[in-house]
Structure 1
């Protein structure tokens, strides 16, 4: 439990911070939460490298529980256009987080014996891609309007992709921008990943 605690606390802090910061815009296509949420993959990968896949999955499930609690609280807080967290956003967030993080753990574990950078890069890039695709499609796609409750007409407004590309629903631009940040941070996170894992392993030796 002592080994698990730092990972659980770090994951919880990231999930809570991201749920708060997602309410604040950064430019036209992003929120501040886009810059904190990808750190969840860093925490998962560090725990996986140091303590193994089973321990990493426990940290993932703890983050999922915290996320569910944040979503439940968000559904009770009314903003200018209704609840801060709608059912579709809560559902998309939960499914995307759990699916992407568990996939990250599995891929990392499969590649752990390769070069030190290979497992965190491939697991984070693939996990982040799945996370983005699942969340934005479930939360905002007009294709699910007849299945899931909630008004997502605003997210399906046809606009040039990222303001300059082919015409696509607004949510696609939001997803592409979010995905780009996740990929960039997956590469940047290699530095703290290497430093943190080496320090923990050296300290435990």
Structure 2
């Protein structure tokens, strides 16, 4: 029977781990929105399919590992709360970018006195270029984010209930691989049709280009998702006893 001292130590560890996972999740979401579509990376090819990934998507698969760990250890409710906090963070970033654009500045934009207007030369300050790209992809990002993260959390617990808390690999991959397809498809389609910020070739047929963006983005996320299966299982196996959760499938009860 754990003593009061043990309970306190476990609670401090639980708070620390939840803070670290939440910080990684929210920090990654901020990077995704700010870096977003500022650059597309060519990471190789698989046959005739080039592996083209937006720089903002590089850390994004980490968010699914974080929500899967929180789902496994703290339950569906806490994971859902974190998803909503991430959504509010998206809105906060958009608000600051909007304010930064409408308030007067020394660059001559927004009604400031400032320096000679760079718009006369056709150049935009770095902030406005970043703002344009962020605004262009933020609708796609927020819609895809909610759809994918809630799909991930719901499917994770569906597989957990179906297997009675067993088969960690199944709920980790079964939830992430489907939610990543939802996310990638939504981001590509909304980014193009809603914001027109994808680097498409107007002289070439559009459907194959969009399919290529979806396929290459999903392939990258699929490979990362499969690669995180072993770390997920090892982390769960290590964290359960360290956090005082002895039974497989058991979740941390909310504090009274």
Residue 158 (structure 2) pairs with residue 110 (structure 1): yes
Residues 158 and 70 of structure 1: CA distance in aligned 2, closer, same or farther (over 3 Å): farther
In the TM superposition, what is the alpha-carbon distance from 1:69 to its structure 2 partner?
Answer: 2.6
Q: Distance in 1 between matches of 2:146 and 2:226?
A: 22
Partner of 2:40: 25
Residues 71 and 192 of structure 1: CA distance in aligned 2, closer, same or farther (over 3 Å): farther
Residues 94 and 156 of structure 1: CA distance in aligned 2, closer, same or farther (over 3 Å): farther
User: Computing the radius of gyration over CA atoms, which structure comes out larger, 1 or 2?
Assistant: 2
Residues 139 and 51 of structure 1: CA distance in aligned 2, closer, same or farther (over 3 Å): same
Give secondary structure in 1 for the equivalent of 2:134: coil
Give secondary structure in 2 for the equivalent of 1:30: strand
Q: Distance in 2 between matches of 1:152 and 1:196?
A: 38
Instruction: Choose the corresponding residue for 1:13, options 13, 27, 48.
Output: 27
Give secondary structure in 1 for the equivalent of 2:207: strand
Residue 240 (structure 2) pairs with residue 204 (structure 1): no
Give secondary structure in 2 for the equivalent of 1:168: helix
In the TM superposition, what is the alpha-carbon distance from 1:11 to its structure 2 partner?
Answer: 0.7
Residue 231 (structure 2) pairs with residue 192 (structure 1): yes
User: How many residues align structurally?
Assistant: 190
Instruction: Choose the corresponding residue for 2:177, options 125, 143, 149.
Output: 125
Q: Distance in 1 between matches of 2:207 and 2:234?
A: 41
Partner of 1:78: 128
In the TM superposition, what is the alpha-carbon distance from 1:156 to its structure 2 partner?
Answer: 6.5
Q: Distance in 2 between matches of 1:119 and 1:158?
A: 43
Deviations 1:91-149 (A, max 9, x none): 111011011101110100011124110001010001000011112111213xxxxxx5x
Runs of 5+ unmatched residues, structure 2: 1-13, 43-49, 102-126, 245-256
Q: Distance in 1 between matches of 2:70 and 2:211?
A: 32
Judge which range, 41-50 or 110-119, deviates more.
Answer: 110-119
Q: Distance in 2 between matches of 1:185 and 1:154?
A: 24
Partner of 1:144: none
Judge which range, 131-140 or 168-177, deviates more.
Answer: 168-177
Runs of 5+ unmatched residues, structure 1: 142-147, 161-166
Q: Distance in 1 between matches of 2:92 and 2:67?
A: 20
In the TM superposition, what is the alpha-carbon distance from 1:18 to its structure 2 partner?
Answer: 2.5
Instruction: Choose the corresponding residue for 1:92, options 122, 137, 140.
Output: 140
Question: Which 4+ stretches in 1 moved above 6 angstroms?
Answer: none
Deviations 1:71-100 (A, max 9, x none): 4445643118x712235x211110110111
